[in-house]
Structures are given as structure tokens and as C-alpha cells.
Amino acid sequence: MAMPQTKPAPVATTDIAVSARSVSKTYGETEALRDMTIEFPRGQLTSLLGPSGCGKTTLLKIIAGLLEPNSGTIEVNGKPVTGPGEDRAFVFQDFALLPWASVMRNVAFGLELRGVAKSEREAIAAKYIADVGLKGFEKSFPHELSGGMRQRVGLARALSVNADVLLMDEPFSAVDEQTRRKFQEDLLSLVQNENKTFIFVTHSIEEAVYVSDQIALLLPRPSRVSEIIRPSGLRMKDVDNIRRDPEYLDTVDRIWALLRSYVE
Amino acid sequence: MTLYGYRLPAMSSLILWGLLWEAIGQMEVSFFVPPLSEVIVTLFEVVQTSAFQKALWETAYAFLAGVFFSIVIGIPTGILMGKNRLIDELLLPWVNIFLSVPLTALVPVLMVLFGFGMTSIIITTTLFAIWIIILNARVGVMQINRSLVDMARSFGASPWDAFVKIYFWAALPEILGGVRIGIIRAVKGVIIGQLLISIVGFGALFELYSNNFLMSHFWAVLLVLFALAFSISELLAMLERRVAYYAAKR
Amino acid sequence: MTDQSQRTLATAASQGRPPLTKPARRDFFGRLTPALVKHRPLVLKLVSAAVVFGAWEIAGRIPVSYAFPTFIESMAALWSMTVDGSLFVAYGETLKPLVVGILISTFIGVAVGMWIGLAKWADWLFSPIFIVMQAAPLAALIPLLVMIYGIGLTSKVFVVCIMAMPVIVLNTAGAVRNTPSSFIEMGQSFLASRAEVIGKIILPAASPVIFSGLRLGVSAGFIGAILAELKITPTGVGDIISYSRSVADYASMYAAIFSIIVLAVVFLNLLERIELTLFEGNARGYASD
């Protein structure tokens, strides 16, 4: 319980897994990102938090290689990004599950595209299906699952390709509140157990403070990183106590104070 | 499609195809394909002939009558099917069958029953248009938002009030969608009817032109017909879009 | 996690779906009719068929017209045509242009539709032609086709093609264009090649709409095939219709028309079977959200 504020900042000891340098992106006339620079430490979860229109999803898709920036560079493990790569996996807001494919095929789909043999990829997929708690649903189809279960399938698919970096685009926004809380707890243990870098887009302040090692607060017009917040003491707490912690509450208040003027 | 940053209008490629037609016609590749310019010149002569105007009038009459009957019979039938399960289950198999079977096969029956005249053509047109109108009206009524129905009941609306003030309007986008497809089918039906009963309307005109190998006359009439059909369908699509604005927000 | 998700499923089953045991239904006389309730759709289909065929029989007996045979007479004519084999010979003729035309329309139509859906310039160049064809009464081209290609098989295949192709092309193009963009992004983020995105994502995602286009195309092709036989040269079933009309054998004429309608329904059901075999996921419904 001791020294919640004095824990040595981990950023000095960890290296940087992903970095964005002066990234700009415009859609026609609209400026989505201007000169954005931000770094994501390895093994940690960084949230991109901000009101709608601040370009957080655009930034995530540029990191994924799905969009090309007009200028600036993205580096993953020191190598510049030119397109989608094996070092990154994406978790979609609307799950992007193939409705005609079983849970097994959906989870194994990333491996299928990488040319992994069927028996091998299904063995790997089965492990991750069990890991996310869907054992027994291998032969089910997406429409037979609840929203939360569908996102577990999407998560298992992203985990099964064993990428260093997991990119999550508002992954819990389409599931109900209870499921969402359970997801957030599971995500915390995932960050702890897997040595992966998580980049997490959300518009929920509470969610960001709860799950993040580092929060990048993005503001619109022009879009920019307004502040990097590191809720340093929360990660040592038991998951059940985080929401009562004074630092949690203070951080939520502080972010709201910063954002409130941008809400229409 | 953009060219050098300039957005080309949607149907502008038809100009290109028209030029291709003209070129093929000028090169006299085939006797059956006269140049487009010649066809257009003929077009202005043809539309002034009394034979053309008579054909147009007869076609329009059969078409409008067919559309009228299919709407007046089709929409109430569809709404009834959407509201009453027994009627729905009794009629739906037949509606589905007649929606997709070759109705051309029925035209000979109509000819022996109703003669080689206007009546048969009007019935053919109705048969082509009515099934999709029924089906769409039915779907429109069935998909009405449950809370709208509850709202009507909670405010104590009478069945008639609920029907006239809520159900009809809530189902209107689907109903109009059905009417649009029905009308496009009616255009095809009226021409098919005239081709098979080839003594009236454009059927007779086509017979005359093809027997005398008047190619540019033939193409001119085709062009008028296609342009009319296309305009009707675009006009209806435009009307439908004006109603559809609230379809997405229900 | 496991018990959490099973709990989710259990609540969905207990709340979202209607209870499995419905209250028993009673017939007009208040008796319980479990067998009738269980087979209600089938029973109603049979009732509905009986009503229609019964009305046909009665109308034929009145008779409403000298050219209106009874249902039983028509079925007897159909039976004798089936027994002496003339019906099969006729359909051998009729199905030739129909099957050839539909196969051509399917392969060319789906290919062109994919092309239009995937390439913007192909969309600009070809879409307007098919949009106009879709709206236009293409049957009017038949006299022209007869002049160019004569009264043989070629003309008839052409008629089937021009009737069936536009809807196949436009449905395919629309379906390809409307593939959810997150599906494609998902494929790209897992490094799918262009061919894999098309073959494993776009094509299966578009398949339900492509198949509904095929169904419409087949149905339009049927219209074309019969139209060709009635208008160009009387062959096959069209010949039975025209000949029996000219000799006033109306029972045979109605029988032939009845058989066409049955054949069209069977054909369309067959197509549905093919769809379910090729894309078995299509029957499972869609998770829309």
C-alpha cells in the first residue's frame, strides 16, 4: 500500500516500442491530425483519449498501416511502418468477425492468411479461444454469441498471431456495461501477463484511467497531444480497489476539467 | 470516377458509348447498326407520325391502367397480409410463386380468355407489377417499430386512426419502394404484352419496321422507349429518396 | 471468464427468446389440436392450394369461358403428356437456351459485376449501360435479334442473356461495393493479399446478395426463354402452348403453362440449395452488429 506517488517512473527503464513523429493526415479539406508526435513504451498500455473528432482512431489506423499519413513517420521496434505488418494486430470496434465463419475459423483467420497449416493454426486458435473463456463455442457462429463474446473472439484472433503490438479501437464500446467492466479487469491481467504493447483508443475517461499505464489526452481543432498522464500508483493496486483510490478519482476529475470545454 | 482531379458525372460514360455507336455505324460494320446521328434524325421524323403517336397513346393507356390496378389492389392486399397472420399464410406462397415465375407463359391464356386487345395487355401489365407491390407493402407493415404500435395504443388511438395516421406512414418508404419496382416491371410487362399480342401499340410498330427492314426507324423507337423507361425509373427513385429520409431514422 | 460467458448465454436464452412451450391452441370448436398446430404452415399451404385449385375446378365446370378447362381436365392432359414423353422432349428443347443463357449470364455477369464493384473506372464506364438495361423493356430488342441472328438457338440464348444479365451485374457490383470496410481492414491488418481479400472476404460477404441477383436473373431468364419460344419460333413448351391453342385443346395448353410454373419454382429452389452448399454460412443468418 505504501508510496503510491513515489514509485520510480517506469518510462526511464523501458524502451519505446512504437513512436509517431510529426504525423499529419488530412481528408480532403478536413485536417484529422497535425504534426502529432507521441511515444508508446514497451509492455505497457497507452490510451488515446479524447472527444470525437480528435483523430484518435485515425492515428491508430495509421499505426496499423491501414491509412497512410500525409507526412511524418511511424516506427515499430525501430523500423518504419509502410503498411500492415506481422508485428501489429488490430482489434475492431465492430469486431469485424466473418459472419459466415465459425468461431474457430474466425480466430484462426489471421494465421490462415499467414499460410499456417490448418491443424497447426487450429491448435493455436483453440488455445486462445480457451484463454478468452470461450471453450466449447469453437463451432458456434458469431450471430449465436452475445456482443461481449463476439469481442472475445476478436481479441483471441488478434492474440493468436502473436504480434508485439495490440491496437484496440474502442473495443468495448459496443458491449454492455457489466461485460465491459469484466473486460477491463481481464485486460489488466493481459497487460501484466503478456509482454505486449497495447495501444487503446477510448472516449471513456473512467475506462482510460482504469486500464492505462499512460494516457495520451488528444484535443481537436487542430488535433494535438495536449498532455500525457501517467496514473503511476494505480497499477500496484488490487483491481477491486482502483475505482476507490484517490489518485483514480483525482485523475478522472483532472481529465474532465481539461476536456469539458471541448464537449459540444 | 475522377479524371485529373475533376469528378465525372455519373452517367457521362453514355456519351462515350454513343460516340462508339456512331463510329461503328459510320464504318458500316453491320446493316443492322446505322449511325447514331442517322437514328436521331429519324427519331424526330418518327415521333411526328400518327402511327407512333397512336402506339405511344395505346401503350401509355395500358401502362397507366395496369399500374393503377396493381396499386389499388396490391397495397391494401399487402397491408392486410402484414396485419393478419391467417391471410398472410394463405396468400404468401402464391405471391412468392407469381413474383418469380415466367408470367409470359400466362399471356396466351389471357389472349384466349380476353381476346387480342387492350384488356389482355392491361392484365399482363398488372400481373407484372402487382406481386412486388403486395410483398413490399406487407414487409413495410410488418417491420413497423413495435414502440410506434405501443404508442398508438397507449394514446388510445382507434384502429382506423392508428392505420391512417401511423401504420400507413410508417410503412410508406417500403410501399413506395415496391411501387417503384412494380412500375419498372409494368413497363416491361406492357411491352412484352404488346410483342406477343402484336397488333396494338409498339408491338405493331416493331412488326412493321422489322418486316420492312427500316433499321433506323426501329432504333429510333427503341431509343425513345428506353429513354422513357429510364426517365420513369429515375423520377421514381428521386421521389423515393425524398420520402426515404425518415426511413433510416425510424 | 468461462462461467461469465456461459452466464451471458444462459441469460440470453432465458430472456431474449420466447419460451419454448407455447400455450396449446384450440380449433373452432375449442378442441386442442396439437398436430394441426405443429404443422400449421404446411397445413395452411395445403388449404390454400386446395382453395385455389378448387376455385379453378368450379370455374372450369360453370364454365366461365369456352377456353377455361377444369383443373382435373388440365391435370389429366399433363399426365398424358408426361406418360407419352412429349413433355420431356419439349423441355429438352426449352431448357437448352435457358440453361446456356443462364450459365453465360452468371459467369459474365458476376465477373463484370465484381469488376464494376472493385474498380472505379469500370463502374463509371459500364454501370450506366446496365442501369439503363435494368430499367428498359429489353424484350423490344427481340425483333432485332431475330433479324440479325435468325430464328435459331443463338437468338434465344441472346434473349435469355439480355433479360438475365443486368440484375446479376448490378446486384454483384452493389454487394461488392457494400462489403463492410472493417472486414477489408481486418484482412489488410492481417496481411491478406489482394486476391485473399477478394476470395476470402469480399466474395463470401457479397454472396447472399449475388445469389439473390442470380435468383432474379434466372427468373428473368425464364421470362426470356418462354417469350423467345412464343415470339420467335414455337419450339419446346412454347410449341405445345401455341399448337394446343390453335387446335383449341385448352386442357393441354393450361397443362403446359402449369408445368412451366412448377418448373420455375423447382429451378429457383434448386438454386437456393446450390447457394447453401457453396456458402453454408449464408443460412445461419447474420450478426448485423
Q: What is the CATH number of the domain that holds C237?
A: 1.10.3720.10
From first to last of its 289 residues, chain C has per-residue pLDDT tens of 333 333 333 333 333 333 334 444 454 544 555 666 667 778 888 888 899 899 988 888 888 888 888 888 899 989 999 899 888 999 988 899 999 999 999 999 999 999 999 998 899 999 999 998 888 888 888 888 888 888 888 889 999 999 999 999 999 999 999 888 889 999 988 888 889 999 989 998 898 889 889 988 999 998 888 888 888 888 888 888 888 888 888 889 999 999 999 999 998 888 888 888 877 665 544 433 3
Q: What is the 3-state secondary structure (H, E, C) of A33-97?
A: EEEEEEEEECCCEEEEECCCCCCHHHHHHHHHCCCCCCEEEEEECCEECCCCCCCEEEECCCCCC
Selected residues 230-289 of chain C with any CB under 8 Å from a CB in chain B: 230-231, 237, 241-242, 245, 250, 253-254, 256-257, 260-261, 264-265, 268
What is residue B247's three-state secondary structure?
coil
Contacts of B240 (CB under 8 A, 6+ apart): B173, B176, B177, B180
| C-alpha distances in Å from residue C146, one per residue of A131, A138, B33, B213, C228 | 68, 58, 14, 12, 10
C183 neighbors A98 (Cβ within 8 angstroms): yes
Residues in a beta bridge with A27: A30
Touch between chain A and chain B (3+ CB pairs, < 8 Å)?
A: no
B197 or A168, higher pLDDT? A168
Q: Please indicate whether, in this complex, the C-beta atoms of A94 and C289 are within 8 angstroms of each other.
A: yes
Cα–chain center distance at B35: 29
- pLDDT, residue C113, reads 94
Minimal CA separation from A159 to chain C, in Å: 12
Interchain contact B155–C (C-beta under 8 A): no
Q: CA B99, CA B93: separation in Å to the nearest integer? A: 10
Q: Which residue of chain C is at minimal alpha-carbon distance from A163?
A: C190
pLDDT of B195 above 90? no
Give every strand in the sheet of A30-41, ordered side by side. A30-41, A16-27, A71-76, A79-80
Query: What is the per-residue burial (b if ≥16 Cβ within 10 Å, else e) of B209-228?
Result: bbeeebbbbbbbbbbbbbeb
* Residues of chain B positioned with their CB less than 8 A from the CB of C65: 112-113
Minimal CA separation from B157 to chain C, in Å: 28
Q: Please, is C52 exposed, middle or buried when counting C-beta atoms within 10 Å of its C-beta (0-12, 13-18, 19+)?
A: middle
Instruction: From C194, C196, C185, B167, select the one nearest A57 (Cα to Cα).
Output: C185
Interface test with B, best of C231, C239, C240 (most B CBs within 10 A): C231
Residue span of the structural domain in which A118 resides: 15-248
- pLDDT, residue A237, reads 72
Mean pLDDT, chain A cut into blocks of 10 residues (264 residues total): 42 73 84 86 90 83 90 90 88 87 90 88 92 89 87 91 91 85 88 89 89 87 79 72 82 86 72
ipTM of the complex: 0.85
State the DSSP code for A199.
E
- pLDDT, residue A199, reads 94
Residues in a beta bridge with A20: A38, A74
Q: Please indicate whether, in this complex, the C-beta atoms of A133 and C279 are within 8 angstroms of each other.
A: no
Q: Which residue of chain B is at minimal alpha-carbon distance from C142?
A: B195
Q: CA C218, CA B230: separation in Å to the nearest integer? A: 22
Residue C124: which of B8, B112, B229 has the nearest Cβ?
A: B8
Give every strand in the sheet of A88-91, ordered side by side. A88-91, A165-169, A197-202, A45-49, A214-219, A224-229
C240 neighbors C93 (Cβ within 8 angstroms): no
Cα-only R_g, chain A: 18
Q: Please indicate whether, in this complex, the C-beta atoms of A96 and C183 are within 8 angstroms of each other.
A: yes
State the cell numbers at A7: 514509485
Residue C41: which of B89, B112, B191 has the nearest Cβ?
A: B89
Strands A88-91, A79-80: pairing kind: unpaired
Selected residues 191-220 of chain B with any CB under 8 Å from a CB in chain C: 191-192, 195-196, 202, 206-207, 209-210, 213, 218
How many C-beta atoms lie closer than 10 Å to residue B67's C-beta?
Answer: 26
Q: Please indicate whether, in this complex, the C-beta atoms of B102 and C264 are within 8 angstroms of each other.
A: yes
Indicate whether C17 belongs to any domain.
no
Q: CA A198, CA C121: separation in Å to the nearest integer? A: 40
* Residues of chain A positioned with their CB less than 8 A from the CB of C1: 132-133, 152, 182, 186
| C-alpha distances in Å from residue A19, one per residue of A56, A58, A199, A219 | 15, 15, 11, 19
A11 or B83, higher pLDDT? B83
Minimal CA separation from A190 to chain C, in Å: 13
- pLDDT, residue A34, reads 85
Q: CA A50, CA C85: separation in Å to the nearest integer? A: 76
- pLDDT, residue C282, reads 59
Counting the structural domains of chain C, the total is: 1
Contacts of C108 (CB under 8 A, 6+ apart): C165
| CATH superfamily to which B39-244 belongs | MetI-like (1.10.3720.10)
Q: Please indicate whether, in this complex, the C-beta atoms of C204 and A137 are within 8 angstroms of each other.
A: no
Indicate whether C270 belongs to any domain.
yes
Which other chains touch chain C, taking contact as 3+ CB pairs less than 8 Å apart? A, B
Selected residues 117-146 of chain C with any CB under 8 Å from a CB in chain B: 120-121, 123-129, 131-132, 134-144, 146
Interface test with C, best of A86, A87, A98, A140 (most C CBs within 10 A): A98
C229 neighbors C239 (Cβ within 8 angstroms): yes
Q: Please indicate whether, in this complex, the C-beta atoms of B100 and C245 are within 8 angstroms of each other.
A: no
Q: CA A212, CA A45: separation in Å to the nearest integer? A: 5
State the cell numbers at C123: 463502374
Q: Please indicate whether, in this complex, the C-beta atoms of B16 and C125 are within 8 angstroms of each other.
A: yes
Cα-only R_g, chain B: 22
Touch between chain C and chain B (3+ CB pairs, < 8 Å)?
A: yes
Q: Give the position of cell 474466425.
A: A106
Q: Please indicate whether, in this complex, the C-beta atoms of B1 and C135 are within 8 angstroms of each other.
A: no
Q: Please indicate whether, in this complex, the C-beta atoms of A100 and C8 are within 8 angstroms of each other.
A: no
B164 neighbors B56 (Cβ within 8 angstroms): no
Q: Please indicate whether, in this complex, the C-beta atoms of C137 and B229 are within 8 angstroms of each other.
A: yes
- pLDDT, residue A47, reads 92
* Residues of chain A positioned with their CB less than 8 A from the CB of C9: 145-146, 149
Q: What is the 3-state secondary structure (H, E, C) of chain C?
A: CHHHHHHHHHHHHHHHCCCCCCCCCECCCCCECHHHHHCHHHHHHHHHHHHHHHHHHHHHHCCCCCCCCCHHHHHHHHHHHHHCCHHHHHHHHHHHHHHHHHHHHHHHHHHHHHHHHHCHHHHHHHHHHHHHHHHCCHHHHHHHHHHHHCCCHHHHHHHHHHHHHHHHHHHHHHHHHCCCHHHHHHHHHCCCCHHHHHHHHHHHHHHHHHHHHHHHHHHHHHHHHHHHHHHCCCCHHHHHHHHHHHCCCHHHHHHHHHHHHHHHHHHHHHHHHHHHHHCHHHHHCCCCC
Residue A146: which of C8, C183, C187 has the nearest Cβ?
A: C8
Residue A26 dihedral angles phi and psi, to the nearest 5°: -125, 145
Contacts of A169 (CB under 8 A, 6+ apart): A57, A60, A61, A90, A91, A92, A93, A201
Minimal CA separation from C41 to chain B, in Å: 7
Minimal CA separation from C194 to chain A, in Å: 11
Q: Which residue of chain B is at minimal alpha-carbon distance from C148?
A: B32
State the cell numbers at B1: 470516377
State the cell numbers at B134: 403486395
Q: CA B87, CA B77: separation in Å to the nearest integer? A: 9
Selected residues 62-101 of chain C with any CB under 8 Å from a CB in chain B: 65, 67-68
| C-alpha distances in Å from residue A6, one per residue of A9, A84, A232, B215 | 8, 39, 9, 94
Strands A45-49, A197-202: pairing kind: parallel
| C-alpha distances in Å from residue B16, one per residue of C109, C112, C114 | 22, 19, 22
What is residue A215's three-state secondary structure?
strand
Indicate whether A253 belongs to any domain.
no
Q: Please indicate whether, in this complex, the C-beta atoms of C226 and B104 are within 8 angstroms of each other.
A: yes
Q: pLDDT, tens digit, for every residue of B118-146?
A: 899 999 999 999 999 999 999 988 887 77
Q: Please indicate whether, in this complex, the C-beta atoms of A134 and C5 are within 8 angstroms of each other.
A: yes
Count CA atoms within 13 Å of residue B46 on its CB side: 26
Indicate whether C52 belongs to any domain.
no
A158 neighbors A97 (Cβ within 8 angstroms): no
Residue C23 dihedral angles phi and psi, to the nearest 5°: -65, 140
- pLDDT, residue B7, reads 76
Minimal CA separation from C3 to chain B, in Å: 34
pLDDT of B199 above 80? no
Residue C139: which of B12, B17, B195 has the nearest Cβ?
A: B195
The band of B169, judged by pLDDT with boundaries at 50, 70 and 90, is confident
Indicate whether A96 belongs to any domain.
yes
C228 neighbors C97 (Cβ within 8 angstroms): yes
- Chain C positions with Cβ closer than 8 Å to A: 1-2, 4-5, 8-9, 12, 180, 182-183, 185-192, 196, 200-201, 204-205, 207, 279-282, 284-287, 289
- pLDDT, residue C173, reads 94
Amino acid making up residue A40: F
Indicate whether C51 belongs to any domain.
no
Q: What is the CATH number of the domain that holds A199?
A: 3.40.50.300
Minimal CA separation from A111 to chain C, in Å: 8
- pLDDT, residue A85, reads 85
- pLDDT, residue B9, reads 80
Average pLDDT of every residue of chain B: 85
Q: Please indicate whether, in this complex, the C-beta atoms of A96 and C1 are within 8 angstroms of each other.
A: no
B177 neighbors B136 (Cβ within 8 angstroms): yes
Percent of chain B with pLDDT over 90: 26
Indicate whether A175 belongs to any domain.
yes
Touch between chain A and chain C (3+ CB pairs, < 8 Å)?
A: yes
Strands A88-91, A165-169: pairing kind: parallel
A52 neighbors A128 (Cβ within 8 angstroms): no
Q: pLDDT, tens digit, for every residue of C20-40?
A: 344 444 545 445 556 666 677
Q: pLDDT, tens digit, for every residue of C183-221?
A: 999 998 888 888 999 998 999 889 888 988 998 899 999
C115 neighbors B3 (Cβ within 8 angstroms): no
Q: Which residue of chain C is at minimal alpha-carbon distance from A187?
A: C1
Indicate the helix (H) or strand (E) that contains A224: strand A224-229
Contacts of C247 (CB under 8 A, 6+ apart): none
What is residue A264's three-state secondary structure?
coil
Handedness of CA A75, A80, A83, A89 (dihedral sign): negative
Counting the structural domains of chain A, the total is: 1
* Residues of chain A positioned with their CB less than 8 A from the CB of C7: none
- pLDDT, residue C79, reads 92
- pLDDT, residue C17, reads 36
Selected residues 76-135 of chain B with any CB under 8 Å from a CB in chain C: 86, 89-91, 93-94, 97, 99-109, 111-113
Give chain C's largest Cα–Cα span.
78
- pLDDT, residue A74, reads 92
* Residues of chain C positioned with their CB less than 8 A from the CB of A134: 2, 5
Minimal CA separation from A134 to chain C, in Å: 6
* Residues of chain C positioned with their CB less than 8 A from the CB of B8: 124
Alpha-helical runs (H) found in chain B: 13-26, 36-46, 50-83, 85-100, 107-114, 118-142, 146-154, 159-161, 168-196, 201-211, 215-244
